C-alpha cells in the first residue's frame, strides 16, 4: 500500500494494517492512499471538481473519498473520522473505496459531467443521483459477497432517521421563501432525495447478494408509514434495475450502464412523485419543469407529523 500521511498524524500500526487488508481484498493495493487530518483541504487540492466540498453529510462526517479526477486515482481518508473506529470498520471502508478506484480503472465510473453536457439540469440531477447510487450498489453487493456486514448507513435505525430527515427537508424546501426560485426548490428536494437514494444503493447490495434480509416493519411507526407511501414503489423499481448490473469483476459496457442508469432514473422519478414532486421533460435540448403535485394541506400535515415525530424522538 502506498500510504502518505498529511498533518500531525501519528498512525497506529493496527490502522495501517486494517487499511492495507481492505485494499488488498478487493485487489486495490496499487491505489495510493492519503491519510489526512485536514480532509477537506486535501480533497480540494487533489480534485478539480470539488472546490466547494464539505465533509459533513447529514448525520455524520465523510470518512473517505476516492478522487478519480486526479492522476493517479487516490483515496483520501479522513483521520478525524476514523481514528477512533474499530479496525474492521476501517478495513471495510478501504475495501469500499478500493472498489471505487477499481471501477474507475476499468473506465466504468460515470462522471456527472457526461450528464450536464448532454441534458438539461432537472434530468441531469436525476441521472447523477441515479448513477452514484448504482455504483454504490455495485460495490456493496461485492462487499456483501466478500462477507462484510451491512454498511452502517443502511442499518434499520439509520434509515429510520434518514426518512425523518428526508421528509423534514422536503417540507422545509416547500416552506422556504427561497424556493420561489424553481431551481433552488428542485435542488433542495432532489438533494434530500439523493441522500436516501444512495443509502438505498448501499442497502440493495447485500439484499441482492442474498446475505441480508430487510424488513421495513422494523422501522418506527413514522418510518414505516413513510417508507410505504414514499419509498416502496421506487425501491421495487430500483431493485429491478440493480439486478441486471454485472458484478464488479465483470465488464460493464457503456450502453448497458446508460440503460441501467435510465431504469434507475425512472425509479428516482417515482420516488420523487411519491415525495410529492414531478420533473417533466428534460430530454436533451428540451425545456424541463419541476413542480409540486401535492396540495398545501398535505405539506401542512407533513410539517405537523415531522414536528411530532422529532419531538417524540428527542425524549
Ligand atoms: Zn462509495
- Give 60 Cα–ligand 1 centroid separation in angstroms: 15
Q: Tell me the CA distances in angstroms from 27 to 23, 102, 103, 297, one per residue in order.
A: 6, 8, 11, 54
User: Would you state the pLDDT for residue 118?
Assistant: 67
Whether the ω angle into residue 72 lies within 30 degrees of 0, i.e. cis, is: yes
Last residue of a domain, one of 74, 105, 136: 105
User: Would you state the pLDDT for residue 109?
Assistant: 85
Q: Note whether 126 and 83 are same-domain residues.
A: no
- Give 107 Cα–ligand 1 centroid separation in angstroms: 16
Q: Note whether 49 and 117 are same-domain residues.
A: no
- Give 298 Cα–ligand 1 centroid separation in angstroms: 35
Q: Note whether 100 and 239 are same-domain residues.
A: no
- Give 136 Cα–ligand 1 centroid separation in angstroms: 5
- Give 103 Cα–ligand 1 centroid separation in angstroms: 11
Q: Note whether 261 and 294 are same-domain residues.
A: yes
Nearest CA among 234, 236, 241 for reference residue 277 = 234
User: Would you state the pLDDT for residue 60?
Assistant: 62
- Give 102 Cα–ligand 1 centroid separation in angstroms: 12
Q: Note whether 211 and 286 are same-domain residues.
A: yes
| Chain CA centroid to CA 27, Å | 23
- Give 100 Cα–ligand 1 centroid separation in angstroms: 6
Whether this prediction's pTM lies above 0.95 is answered by: no
Residue 107 CB partners (closer than 8 Å, separation 6+): none
Last residue of a domain, one of 105, 133, 155: 105
C-alpha cell at 313: 424522538
Strand partners, 66: 75
- Give 28 Cα–ligand 1 centroid separation in angstroms: 14
CB atoms inside a 10 Å sphere around CB 245 = 21
Helix (H), strand (E), coil (C) string for the chain: CCEEEECCCCCCHHHHHHHHHHHHHCCCCCCCEEEECCHHHHHHHHCCCCCCCCCEECCEECCEEEECCCCCCEEEEEHHHHCCCCHHHHHHHHHHHHHHHHHHHCCCCCCHHHHHHHCCHHHHHHHHHHHHHHHHHHHHHHHHHCCCCCCHHHCHHHHHHHHHHHHHHHHHHHHCHHHHCHHHHHHHHHHHHHHHHHHHHHHHHHHHHCCCCCCHHHCCHHHHHHHHHHHHHHHHHHHHHHCCCCCCCCCCCHHHHHHHHHHHHHHHHHHHHHHCEEEEECCCCCCEEEEECCCHHHHHHHHHHHHHHHHHHHC
Q: Note whether 87 and 133 are same-domain residues.
A: no
- Give 147 Cα–ligand 1 centroid separation in angstroms: 17
- Give 208 Cα–ligand 1 centroid separation in angstroms: 17
- Give 97 Cα–ligand 1 centroid separation in angstroms: 6
Q: Note whether 99 and 131 are same-domain residues.
A: no
- Give 33 Cα–ligand 1 centroid separation in angstroms: 15
Q: Note whether 138 and 277 are same-domain residues.
A: yes
Q: Note whether 137 and 282 are same-domain residues.
A: yes
Q: Note whether 95 and 118 are same-domain residues.
A: no
Per-residue pLDDT of the chain (315 residues; tens, 9 = 90+): 899 999 877 888 999 999 999 999 999 999 999 999 999 999 989 987 755 555 555 546 889 999 988 899 999 999 999 999 999 999 999 999 999 999 999 999 876 667 766 666 788 888 889 999 999 999 999 999 999 999 999 999 999 999 999 999 999 999 999 999 998 999 999 999 999 999 999 999 999 999 999 999 999 999 999 999 999 999 999 999 999 999 999 999 988 998 999 999 999 999 999 999 998 876 666 778 899 999 999 999 999 999 999 999 998
User: Would you state the pLDDT for residue 159?
Assistant: 97
Distance CA 87, CA 85 (A): 6
Residues at Cβ < 5 Å from ligand 1 ion: 136
Q: Note whether 286 and 147 are same-domain residues.
A: yes
Q: Note whether 121 and 20 are same-domain residues.
A: no
Last residue of a domain, one of 45, 71, 105: 105
- Give 175 Cα–ligand 1 centroid separation in angstroms: 32
Distance CA 198, CA 133 (A): 4
- Residue carrying C-alpha cell 413514522: 222
User: Would you state the pLDDT for residue 283?
Assistant: 65
Distance CA 150, CA 156 (A): 10
Question: What residue numbers bound the domain in which 82 lies?
Answer: 3-105
- Give 267 Cα–ligand 1 centroid separation in angstroms: 20
CB-CB contact of 303 with 175 (8 Å): yes
Distance CA 233, CA 235 (A): 5
Number of structural domains found in the chain: 2
Amino acid at each position: 500500500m502506498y500510504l502518505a500521511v498529511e498533518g500531525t498524524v501519528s498512525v497506529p500500526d493496527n490502522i495501517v494494517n486494517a487499511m492495507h487488508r481492505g485494499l488488498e481484498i478487493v485487489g486495490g493495493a496499487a491505489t495510493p492512499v492519503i491519510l489526512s487530518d485536514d480532509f477537506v483541504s486535501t480533497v480540494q487540492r487533489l480534485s478539480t471538481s470539488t472546490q466547494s466540498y464539505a465533509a459533513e453529510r447529514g448525520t455524520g462526517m465523510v470518512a473517505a473519498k476516492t478522487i478519480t479526477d486526479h492522476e493517479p486515482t487516490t483515496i483520501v481518508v479522513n483521520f478525524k473520522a476514523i481514528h477512533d473506529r474499530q479496525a474492521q470498520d476501517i478495513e471495510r471502508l478501504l475495501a469500499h473505496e478500493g472498489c471505487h478506484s477499481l471501477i474507475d480503472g476499468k473506465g466504468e465510473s460515470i462522471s456527472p459531467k457526461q450528464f450536464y453536457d448532454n441534458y438539461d439540469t432537472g434530468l441531469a440531477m436525476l441521472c447523477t443521483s441515479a448513477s452514484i447510487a448504482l455504483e454504490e450498489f455495485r460495490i456493496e453487493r461485492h462487499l456483501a459477497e466478500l462477507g462484510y456486514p451491512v454498511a452502517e448507513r443502511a442499518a434499520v435505525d439509520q434509515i429510520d432517521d434518514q426518512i425523518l430527515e428526508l421528509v423534514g427537508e422536503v417540507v422545509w424546501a416547500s416552506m422556504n421563501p427561497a424556493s420561489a426560485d424553481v431551481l433552488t426548490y428542485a435542488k433542495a428536494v432532489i438533494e434530500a432525495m439523493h441522500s436516501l437514494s444512495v443509502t438505498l444503493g448501499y442497502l440493495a447490495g447485500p439484499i441482492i447478494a442474498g446475505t441480508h434480509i430487510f424488513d421495513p416493519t422494523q422501522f418506527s411507526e413514522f418510518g414505516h408509514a413513510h417508507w410505504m407511501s414514499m419509498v416502496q414503489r421506487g425501491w421495487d423499481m430500483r431493485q429491478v434495475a440493480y439486478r441486471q448490473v454485472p458484478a464488479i469483476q465483470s465488464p460493464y459496457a457503456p450502453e448497458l450502464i446508460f440503460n441501467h442508469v435510465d431504469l434507475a432514473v425512472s425509479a428516482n422519478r417515482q420516488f420523487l412523485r411519491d415525495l410529492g414532486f414531478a420533473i417533466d421533460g428534460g430530454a436533451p435540448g428540451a425545456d424541463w419543469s419541476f413542480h409540486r403535485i401535492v396540495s398545501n394541506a398535505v405539506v401542512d400535515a407533513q410539517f405537523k407529523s415531522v414536528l411530532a415525530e422529532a419531538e417524540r424522538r428527542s425524549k
